[in-house]
Amino acid sequence: MAALVVASVGAMLGSTAPATAAPECSDVEVVFARGTDEPAGIGAVGKALVDTLKPMLKGSSISTYAVDYPASYDFLEVAAGATDMSKHVQATVANCPETKIVLGGYSQGAAVVDVVATSPIAGLGYTAPLPRAVVPHVAAVVVFGNPSARLGQPLTKMSPDFGPKTADLCNKADPICSLGRDWNSHVTYQKSGLVKTAAEWIAKHVKASDPTTSKAAPKPTSR
């Protein structure tokens, strides 16, 4: 009798359990890694970028994802940020295949994007390389104050997959991405014209992109 009661209750619970809700998919998702020592979130540059982008993509829903990593002065944690960014992008492609993805980062966050865009295999703490099938789902890439650019290796040159989709932007005299010595130029991207340049770059690529094709637009220039 007890077994029958348990079975009956289980059957009733199973018949009334709610179905799993489908994920809400936006038209565009901006996946952004903040700079060193910024509080959790997409950071000041990421927010300025998204705020500038929205009027350029009227009629499209835009969501954001803040890469989960320390953004501390332990720069080895870049690998953790790259792993989180890559895993999130892969999950978005699996759950929302029509969503057009934008990768972005500022300063240390730009280094996070560098790893994701240029490392086809795991290593040095990076554990989740992007499969090649994911590449067409990334409509555009924008980075600000990218440390590798100072070494003559901007992301436009480093990544055969993402280079044509990338705007690697450096404020004039920014010592992080150039041989300049004006530290103020590194911490004022959100007030610079390069945020608008990046938003225009994204809008152009989002409008032109297709899950199975990748069209390149003329590369913007840094200040």
> Can you give the pLDDT of all 223 residues of the chain as single tens digits?
333 333 333 343 343 444 445 569 999 999 999 999 999 999 999 999 999 999 999 999 999 999 999 999 999 999 999 999 999 999 999 999 999 999 999 999 999 999 999 999 999 999 999 999 999 999 999 999 999 999 999 999 999 999 999 999 999 999 999 999 999 999 999 999 999 999 999 999 999 986 544 434 445 655 5
The predicted pLDDT at position 222 comes to: 59
Residue 26 known to be catalytic: no
DSSP 194: H
Residue 33 corresponds to which tokens in the numbers above?
Answer: 């890694």
Selected catalytic residue, list 186, 205, 209, 222: 186
Q: What is the CA radius of gyration of the chain?
A: 20
What is the distance between the alpha carbons of residues 107 and 145, in angstroms, rounded to a whole number? 5
Strand order, beta sheet including 138-144: 62-66, 28-33, 100-106, 138-144, 166-169
Amino acid at 207: K
How far CA 182 is from CA of 114, 186, 187, 190, 193, in Å, comes to 23, 7, 10, 16, 17
Known catalytic residue at 74 = no
- Assign domain 25-208 to its CATH architecture: 3-Layer(aba) Sandwich (3.40)
- Cβ atoms of 70 and 114 within 8 Å: the answer is no
The catalytically annotated residue of 84, 86, 88, 107 is: 107
Q: So what's the pLDDT on residue 209? A: 81
Q: Are 182 and 173 in contact (CB under 8 A)?
A: yes
Write down the pTM of the prediction.
0.85
174 is catalytic: yes
CA distance 182 to 175: 6
Give the amino acid at 63.
S
Catalytic annotation, pick one of 161, 174, 205, 209: 174
The encoded tokens of residue 63 equal 């969501």
Non-local (6+) Cβ contacts of 214 within 8 A are 135, 136, 164, 165
For residue 10, the model assigns a pLDDT of 35
